[in-house]
Amino acid sequence: MPHIRVRGLPLEDLESVSDLLVETLAELTDTPNSHFTLEYQASTFFAVGGASPAYPFIEILWFDRGAAIKAKVAQAVDDLFRPLIEPGQDITTLFTDINKADYFENGAHF
């Protein structure tokens, strides 16, 4: 934990920044690199009228680290992905705080 899901970005682009992404977030959160998982989700976006161009959507599932750390992580994500996309395109970072009471690993409560 943390678990990072990325969609709306070509796989090759994610691969090109994956090491730096994990290293940067590990430093900001004071969490070992080995605790991170990174998931690529191929997806198709739709809007009224059919398929729509994708934009990077980064979802971070983790134990709450407070608003200040969230803001730093969101900015780091934006800084890292911004050079990979068209000017003016949005990047969305969504945090899902996991309640430790709801977290089990290998069948055991964490």
Q: Which residue has the tokens 């934009």?
A: 55
pLDDT of residue 44: 84
Is residue 14 situated within a structural domain? yes
pLDDT, tens digit, 9 for 90 and up, residues 28-81: 999 999 999 999 999 888 878 777 778 899 999 999 999 999 999 999 999 999
Is residue 55 situated within a structural domain? no
Is residue 8 situated within a structural domain? yes
Q: Which residues contact 99 (CB under 8 A, 6 or more apart)?
A: none
pLDDT of residue 37: 96
Is residue 21 situated within a structural domain? yes
Is residue 52 situated within a structural domain? no
Q: Which two tokens stand for residue 83?
A: 């050079």
- Give the domain extent around 69: 3-43+61-109
Is residue 51 situated within a structural domain? no
Is residue 48 situated within a structural domain? no
Give the chain's domain count.
Answer: 1
Q: How far is CA 110 from the centre of its chain?
A: 22
How far apart, in whole angstroms, are the C-alpha atoms of residue 23 and residue 33?
6
User: Mean of the per-residue pLDDT values for the chain?
Assistant: 92
Is residue 53 situated within a structural domain? no
CATH no. for residue 11? 3.30.429.10
